[in-house]
Amino acid sequence: MLAEIRKFFADRSVLEVETPLLGHCIGTDPQLDFFTADYWLPPRRQTLFLQTSPEFAMKRLLAAGSGSIYQIGKAFRNGESGRFHNPEFTMLEWYRVGFTLPQLMDEIAELIEGLFSGKPLKETRRVSYQDVFVSFTGLDPLIFSYQDYCAFARECELSEAVGICGQDHALWLDFIFSHKVQPHLGENALCMVYGYPACQSSLAKINEDNPQIVERVELFINGIELGNGYYELTDAEEQSRRFDKELAIRHLHKQPSAVKDQRLIAALQSGLPECSGVAVGLDRLLMLLSDSASIDNVLSFSIRSA
């Protein structure tokens, strides 16, 4: 699988890069927990972070003029273990300079379909987040109605969502989507869901024609989430505001403090080229390719056996 991926990008003259696993900063996303490491450099001790994604460092390379790049490497996320999760996992991340999100989606489909050539998938499906959410829930994800979301959760015997999600629109969408939409996506096929609600903007640009959505896509096969991609935000001030908002949410929920990456902000200020990028979990992909029931079956040593 790795050899085929590297050939795919070599044929397109996309440069393979390597960025640090340890960094002075970390992503602020409230949905992600991270690992820290003590760095003892006399006379003082510093806290470093194991990267949850190589995204920020790769964007600094893009801003420095690298051109289109990809990376296969390890990422680390705390508190994640289970059938589809291991705290240390292998990620493929790539960025295509000058690509719109639809162009990137074309390339994603080409790569995935090529990897599954030995056990062909059904035709790739592309569907908007709003359409697929409405079809399985009857709720409009672009309009937050606490009463409607609570009623739906109770009707579906998911009343715990009321206490978990509160008045947080993004949390409600994540909860409902994961329980009632995602399991139906990509039956023996690649399903790409695009046009996510703006409250789930993260690092994506707002859609020029509809400010209620962002230029984001997620990938699913047989209900398993494989990847997440964006038409990348290039506005340094907007990115800084989003980081501050996420830091405030982390503080409100009493989550471990993150450190905003000022080097990334500086790179955006210097000029990030128009580009689209995506990250794909390769362990989950290998699970599907090998018909494995658990991520443990495709890891030499999972966290339970390391």
Residue 306 lies in a domain: no
CA 80 – CA 56 distance, rounded (Å): 21
Question: Which residues, including other chains, have CB under 8 Å from residue 250's CB and lie 6 or more apart?
Answer: 28, 30, 256, 257, 258
Residue 117 lies in a domain: yes
Residue 55 lies in a domain: yes
What is the structure's pLDDT at 304? 84
pLDDT tens across 77-97, in order? Answer: 998 778 999 999 999 999 999
Average pLDDT for the chain: 95
CA 211 – CA 198 distance, rounded (Å): 7
Residue 96 lies in a domain: yes
Q: What whole-number percentage of the chain has pLDDT above 70? A: 100
How many domains are there within the chain?
A: 1
Task: Record the pTM.
Answer: 0.94
- What mean pLDDT is predicted for residues 30-34? 91
pLDDT tens across 11-29, in order? Answer: 999 999 999 999 999 999 9
Residue 240 lies in a domain: yes
Residue 304 lies in a domain: no
The candidate with the shortest Cα–Cα distance to 54, out of 293, 282, 279, 283, is: 279
Domain that holds residue 78: 2-298
- What mean pLDDT is predicted for residues 34-48? 92
What is the structure's pLDDT at 261? 95
Q: What whole-number percentage of the chain has pLDDT above 90? A: 91
What is the structure's pLDDT at 39? 94
Residue 150 lies in a domain: yes
Burial of residue 146 (CB within 10 Å: 0-12, 13-18, 19+) is middle
Sheet strand arrangement including 44-50: 22-23, 44-50, 35-41
* pLDDT of 248 higher than 80: yes
* Residue 127 binned pLDDT confidence (cut-offs 50, 70, 90): very high
pLDDT tens across 191-201, in order? Answer: 999 999 999 87
- What mean pLDDT is predicted for residues 20-46? 92
Residue 303 lies in a domain: no
CATH of the domain at 126: 3.30.930.10
What is the structure's pLDDT at 201? 79
* pLDDT of 306 higher than 80: no
